[in-house]
Copies of this chain bind each other. A is one copy, B any other.
């Protein structure tokens, strides 16, 4: 049997981002926390933490943390049938795309958070990367664009999010005075969420443009919209998040009629306890548009 106080120390150090703060939370000295992690590494025969560039679990440490989280979820179900056991709220680690977390997500899960005392540990990832996190055992569930579940997991189709190529009216007039064209695409600075974000590339391919284009990188969903509204660039933005700015004339489409739809799937481990089951039932009722 594993010594769970060692795993608890590892989880706390990772969550707090340091030994000193973890010690404060655990009511231990920094050196006592450090000793627990050493004991874990001796037991395992390899390191569980890397310190540079940021404090983070090694792949082996991450497997331990996933296991620790799964045991916690199972204990939570146990406490449901043995209510006299002490019941700290569980924290569920979920990979979610940035555009969901700033639009439909909060309203959809508010009731269940309150009813179940659920605490969220959200990890923001592009639609295409979240599933890798689930496969790596880093999260208990994820929202992503891929329909196929991985082995041991299930997927649930939630619907589609619709994206339009938007810019400020001033920017549109400056860079696309005659609408979209290869020449305009080659020169107009776009905005891209991050290296994994392919929406802009897909949009340009849909318009028949396959060349290079200048772009800003902005891995903040709301920041992306602020850059566009300030006339710094144009980019693919979700309808759910921008309809008010379109209605008020602060953003316009640079290619009216052109849009991209991104499907969203909820992926979760088959044996992840009743909490994930209830969350899944709730998400099955969500309407994205």
Contact = CB atoms under 8 A, between A and B. Distances in A.
A215 B121 CA distance: 9
A53 to B, nearest CB: 6
Contact of A120 (B101, B121, B218): B218
Given A15-B195, A232-B114, A102 B220 contact: yes
Interface in A203-222: 212, 214-222
A4 interface: no
A6 interface: no
A53 B62 CA distance: 11
A109 interface: yes
A151 interface: no
Contacts of A129: 54
Contacts of A123: 219
Contact of A106 (B52, B113, B195, B226): B226
Interface size class of A (residues with CB under 8 A): 35 or more
Which of A15, A98, A114, A222 neighbours the largest number of chain B CB atoms within 10 Å of its CB? A222
Interface string A93-136: 00000100111011101100110010111111000010010001
A217 B122 contact: yes
Contacts of A47: none
A60 interface: no
A91 interface: yes
A147 interface: no
B122 A226 contact: no
Interface string A52-82: 1110000100000000000000000000000
A217 B124 CA distance: 11
Given A219-B123, A220-B124, A214 B89 contact: yes
B107 A230 contact: yes
A21 to B, nearest CB: 8
A17 interface: yes
Contacts of A101: 218, 220, 222-223, 226
Contact of A53 (B117, B136, B189, B223): B136
Contacts of A14: 195
Contact of A232 (B109, B227, B229): B109
